[in-house]
Structure 1
């Protein structure tokens, strides 16, 4: 199965729409957003995803009630997503002592830093798709994750 990942969209509606469209074209069947959607009006675009959608709050998601009304599945991380026999830990924050990932997982997925990370460490894939908004790093990215090979691809969106 191909999973689409989009993080740190920060209310940039055109880039959020472009990211979702690109993930649809790539054939993603499930979508994960590791936080920082920001406002309910942006959450409505995310909620348009046709298929399973997993979302965690980010540190800038202050309007939690409004986000929850649009995305009832949104939770604080870490969240465990099990897909095709693979275990994926989803949190907004990179793993550290304060934000430990779920134990015994195949993938540790996070956002927050706006920096792309796509590397295997001790048999676990660490993946940050970077920022969808493009405001901090100047580049808008999303990612796909193949559950069969546990390989991720970072996709750069046109400005």
Structure 2
């Protein structure tokens, strides 16, 4: 299963759609916040499930701050990251991932793309799609209980 992961589009829906086009066929799209309306637009236009969480700049209180998704045997924590203060380190993020039994944690907020492992979890930040930034996105490939992630420039 291929999952397109994007974050921090901040109203730049053109970059969000460009990331989808560049990514090729995907089974799901996950938007990590600060662009919930961009994700909603993608959901309306594209024939692929879109999952979204609210970031600190999103005003729609109906959008959850966090999701736990199950893709195959892989549990994925989806969050923007500001509640876990990821700009100050990943300890709270890792603690939350452990709490929900996640093997993958997807987060944004820092605008810095990263793929790393900690305490048996894959931590993925796709970077940002905000106008004025080079832009990047991630593809997470899930195969059973294992996952691999790769960052791509826009």
With the shorter chain as reference, the TM-score category is 0.7 to 0.9
Aligned residue number for residue 134 of structure 2: 139
Flag structure 2 segments of 5+ consecutive residues without an equivalent: none
> Contact 1:134/1:141 (CA < 8 Å) preserved in 2?
no
- 1:100 counterpart SS class: helix
Aligned residue number for residue 150 of structure 1: 147
Deviation at 1:105, TM superposition (A): 1.0
Q: For 1:45-124, what aligned pairs fall within 5 Å after superposition? A: 45-47=41-43, 48-62=45-59, 64=60, 74-77=63-66, 79-93=67-81, 94=86, 95-97=90-92, 100-101=96-97, 102-124=99-121
Flag structure 1 segments of 5+ consecutive residues without an equivalent: 69-73
In structure 2, C-alpha distance between the alignment counterparts of 1:9 and 1:49, rounded to whole Å: 17
> Contact 1:20/1:49 (CA < 8 Å) preserved in 2?
no
- 1:22 counterpart SS class: helix
User: How large is the RMSD of aligned CA atoms in angstroms?
Assistant: 2.1
- 2:100 counterpart SS class: coil
* Aligned residues between the structures: 142
Change (3 A) 1:43 1:109: closer
Q: Identify, as 1 or 2, the structure richer in helix.
A: 2
After TM superposition, the score normalised by the length of structure 2 is: 0.82
In structure 1, C-alpha distance between the alignment counterparts of 2:29 and 2:21, rounded to whole Å: 12
